[in-house]
Amino acid sequence: MTATPDAPRTILIVDDTPANVSVLYEHLSGHGFKVLVSESGESALPQIRYAQPDLVLLDVMMPGIDGFEVCRRLKHHPETRTIPVIFMTALDDAEHKVRGFTAGAVDYITKPFQHEEVLARVTTHLALRGLQADLEAANAHLEARVAERTVALQSALREVEALRDRLQDENHYLREEIDRSHRAQGLIGQSTVLKKVLHQATRVASTDATVLILGETGTGKELIARTVHAESTRADRPLVKVNCAALPETLIESELFGHEKGAFTGATTRRDGRFALADGGTIFLDEVGEMPLALQPKLLRVLQEGEFERVGSAHTEQVDVRVIAATNRDLAGQVREGTFREDLYYRLNVVPLRMPPLRERAGDVPLLVDYVLGQAAVRFGRPVPSVPAEVMDAFVQYAWPGNVRELINVVERAVILSDGAELQLDEPLGRSRASLSAEDAVLLEDVERSHIVRVLHATRWQVRGRGGAAEKLGLHPSTLRSRMKKLGIERPRPSA
């Protein structure tokens, strides 16, 4: 029994000799203690568990269960093991004392009793137990505070880690944006078709409508997406790009929606996905036609409801994101073939913008060439070369199957390889734009096929890596392989 500061301490006397009990009872009661009495070990055990005295004076030699056994049982029971036990005995030999201390006693009182000795030992052990109780209470309080602080620190640490991961991801994307050339060559021009698409982009920018940008590879679809974002009310928030063709099918869900730690092999930390990073801003889904069919319902859900779950989590996340998608594929045809969901197609195709290929705005070619020349000269530390009339005519007449991206590569390569003050082409451009007849609908693909094959031959059929065909064409390796598959381009087998 734990006494309050004003309540008397309780002492239980266990002795089968009434005279001993009477002496102790009168002496201890006279000093303000509450005294309980038990005549045997059998009756003492339940009484101690019920009354919970502050101290037990226990006779060693009793009929039935002796004092040693009573003490052992008390010390093995969780409710009574902390109660101090002082043995009372007429025997003063060392063997009894060893047995008593082994059983769990804290002290001995030898009969006949000396009142001053009894009072001193009782008050000393009660004081010790009080100090022990205070220490245990203080430890419990300290452990509780430590546990609270630990929980708070763990929560704060999780928040810091989440912020750190998000900052790292944002830093990663910002570095990609900085490293990537954002030159606006694709938007340079005075042609009617370019002005039309720029006007449409400006009109739709002020809304939150989903935009689908259509056009061939290299026409500047990403630049139009940036224009829409820059002129929207979300311009001060991130524009996050996702190249659906460049991400492995097994990782694209994690890249889009994030994952929890341990969600899959290699997921060593919790990570935000691109949609979370774009919250409040715009996400640009480039090459959306490459989106795996199994993932399309999840993309449709985030478009319609603004919610998703991380990989490995059952918690639903909410985002406010404007979606701009782009593709060089025939999505309507993919819907008919069953490789693209019809409902997702209509959800993306709210406002379609078609980027014209460079062959449809040949009047912009000189402006583009002049701009790229200036940029390339600065980049490579060369003087700006002049462009002979026959070279510019070749530029204007060329069909540019790789569009603006191909023009940039051709001009930059010519700047590097030209020796004099005039721009020189290291090889003929190939099929001219004028040679593309309206009645021969497959000629454009023939031009693209021959151009890709020519570059592949020049790179010894190396698709990816430094100096590979993809780099020379300004394409992502997976995009180039997709075009090769569509155009039926295969590496020739060596002759036997």
Contact yes or no for 51/36 (Cβ under 8 A)? yes
Q: Whole-prediction pTM value?
A: 0.54
Integer CA distances (angstroms), 435 to 40, 365, 405, in order: 120, 17, 21
Q: How many CB atoms lie within 10 A of CB 108?
A: 17
Please give the biggest Cα pair distance in the chain. Answer: 133
Contact yes or no for 290/334 (Cβ under 8 A)? no
Positive or negative torsion for Cα 437, 442, 443, 448: positive
Contact yes or no for 182/230 (Cβ under 8 A)? no
pLDDT digits (tens), the chain, 496 positions: 444 445 788 999 999 889 888 999 999 999 999 999 998 989 999 999 999 999 999 998 888 889 899 999 999 988 888 899 999 887 766 777 788 888 888 888 888 888 888 999 899 999 998 888 888 888 888 988 888 888 888 888 877 777 776 666 666 555 555 444 344 445 788 888 999 999 999 999 999 999 999 999 889 999 999 999 999 999 999 999 999 888 887 788 888 998 888 778 777 788 888 999 999 999 999 999 999 999 999 999 999 999 999 888 888 999 999 999 999 999 999 999 899 999 999 999 999 999 999 999 888 898 899 999 988 888 888 888 899 989 888 898 999 998 998 999 899 888 888 888 889 887 888 655 555 444 443 445 666 777 788 888 888 888 888 888 888 887 778 778 878 887 778 877 664 4
Contact residues for 116 (Cβ-Cβ < 8 A; gap 6+): none
Distance CA 370, CA 107 (A): 104
351-354 and 211-214 beta bridge pairing: parallel
Residue among 444, 352, 358, 390 at smallest CA distance from 185 = 358
Residue among 315, 256, 240 at smallest CA distance from 290 = 256
Q: How many CB atoms lie within 10 A of CB 244?
A: 23
Contact yes or no for 275/283 (Cβ under 8 A)? yes
**DSSP designation for 83:** S
Distance CA 190, CA 194 (A): 7
Which tokens hold the place of 52?
A: 């919970």
